[in-house]
Amino acid sequence: MIKVAIVEDNSALRLSLEQLFSKTQGMQCVASLSNLMNVLSEFKRSEPDIVLMDIGLPGISGIEGVRTVKSNFDTIHVLMFTVFEDDEKIFDAIRAGASGYLLKRTPPEEIIDAVKELHEGGAPMSPSIARKVIHAFQTQPSQAITDYQLTGREKEILYSLVDGLSYKKIAEKYFVSISTIRTHISNIYQKLHVNSKSQAVAKVLQNKSV
């Protein structure tokens, strides 16, 4: 059972998301908040696996909310769910610790797929967002990546993570076992001095001017 929490100030949208998860087999909505005022106590009580979080929240922004959640709950993955698709918001959210980024025009079935993918180790992003992130990698000075002494295969796997692929899909892509992919990713994390996918992406993007 995937336990999902929602942080969204639009009451109609929040209700529709609650209904979406409640009727989806294998998922349960365990918390539904309109703001981040009581997020720590609510998440300690409900223990969600994944949080769908808006950026444009009243009071405390969703980007600050990601930082708060990730600094207090290592195992919770945050999936941004927003209308914003400008570079600054995207990269700020990733740097803050978001593991995925969906636009609010995403169809319901794709929201469900994204939650499952994130739970399985992927980093789901709306196609237009993934293109922006990949473009940021491609336009980074090559030195920004080679400084970390990643091998060619490690770079390929890192790009695959950014492209939203799960460990299983990456293993299938390169015709190796999931354990081999986990070993590569562990080596990537050690070289980048990070502990998660989102931190790895942020590390490579940190010198990019957005």
Residue 210 lies in a domain: no
Q: Are 43 and 5 in contact (CB under 8 A)?
A: yes
Residue 147 lies in a domain: yes
Answer yes or no: do 167 and 81 share one domain.
no
Answer yes or no: do 77 and 156 share one domain.
no
Query: What number of helices (H) and strands (E) belong to the chain?
Result: 11, 5
3 membership: H or E segment, kind and range: strand 2-7
pTM over 0.75: no
- pLDDT given for residue 138 in this prediction: 63
- pLDDT given for residue 208 in this prediction: 45
- pLDDT given for residue 204 in this prediction: 65
Residue 172 lies in a domain: yes
Q: What is the pLDDT along the chain (210 residues), one digit of tens a residue?
A: 999 999 999 999 999 999 999 999 999 999 999 999 999 999 999 999 999 999 999 999 999 999 999 999 989 999 999 898 777 788 888 888 898 889 999 999 999 999 998 898 888 888 777 777 767 666 655 445 556 788 889 888 887 877 767 788 899 999 999 889 989 988 888 888 777 776 777 676 654 432
Structural domain harbouring 96: 2-126
3 state SS for 119-163: HCCCCCECHHHHHHHHHHHHHCCHHHHHCCCCCHHHHHHHHHHHC
- pLDDT given for residue 155 in this prediction: 85
Answer yes or no: do 6 and 93 share one domain.
yes
- pLDDT given for residue 72 in this prediction: 94
Left (φ > 0), alpha (ψ -120 to 50) or beta: where does 21 sit? alpha
Torsion of CA 47, 53, 58, 60, to 10 degrees: 70
- pLDDT given for residue 147 in this prediction: 60
Residue 119 lies in a domain: yes
Last residue in a domain, options 105, 126, 147 = 126
Q: What is the chain's percent helix, strand, coil content, to nearest 5?
A: 55, 15, 30
Which of 116, 106, 117, 107 lies closest to 25 in space, CA to CA? Answer: 116
Which of 17, 122, 96 lies closest to 6 in space, CA to CA? Answer: 17
Instruction: Supply the Cα-derived Rg of the chain in whole angstroms.
Output: 17
DSSP letter at 5 equals E
